[in-house]
Amino acid sequence: MGAIRQYAAQYDTRNGAGGEPGSDLRVTVQAPEQFPALRAAVEVAAYRIVQEALTNVARHAQARLCRICLSLPDGHGLQVEVIDDGVGLPKEPCAGVGLLSMCERAEEVGGLCVVEPAPGRGTRVLVKLPLPEE
């Protein structure tokens, strides 16, 4: 999950990162210090979904804050949330290639991805990916 932290740092303007032109975006990552072993496909799916979600935040959300939360809420799966405080989803959302690819990546490993309005303001990408069976 260190790769997600490194990628997110590229968008955090507090770190001197460029982000998108004209952006003033703060990105935080909340995650446990240790994760159980994940299948390579699950790690890649989580990383690629976070990449796409952050790209969308930087390009479209006009957000000032973005929080990435990685957790194991039930012990059976990895949960990834990307929440921003931007303008939110359009009234009539059009599922573009990026949104579809996030959902497809989750489904490929037996998980799910939901893109919805965030509580209050902004957008929330919620992803649940399975852990390996023991």
pLDDT at 60 over 70: yes
pLDDT tens digits along 121-133: 999 999 999 987 6
Domains held by the chain: number: 1
Domain that holds residue 43: 2-130
Separation between Cα atoms, residue 94 and residue 115, nearest integer Å = 12
What are the φ and ψ backbone dihedral angles of 96, each rounded to 5 degrees?
-80, 180
Least Cα distance to 115 among 129, 106, 105, 127 occurs for: 127
Cα distances (angstroms) measured from residue 25 to each of 28, 75, 102, 119 = 10, 32, 22, 19
CATH number of domain containing 42: 3.30.565.10
Greater confidence (23 vs 113) lies with 113
pLDDT recorded at residue 95: 65
Cα distances (angstroms) measured from residue 42 to each of 31, 79, 97, 114 = 16, 11, 20, 17
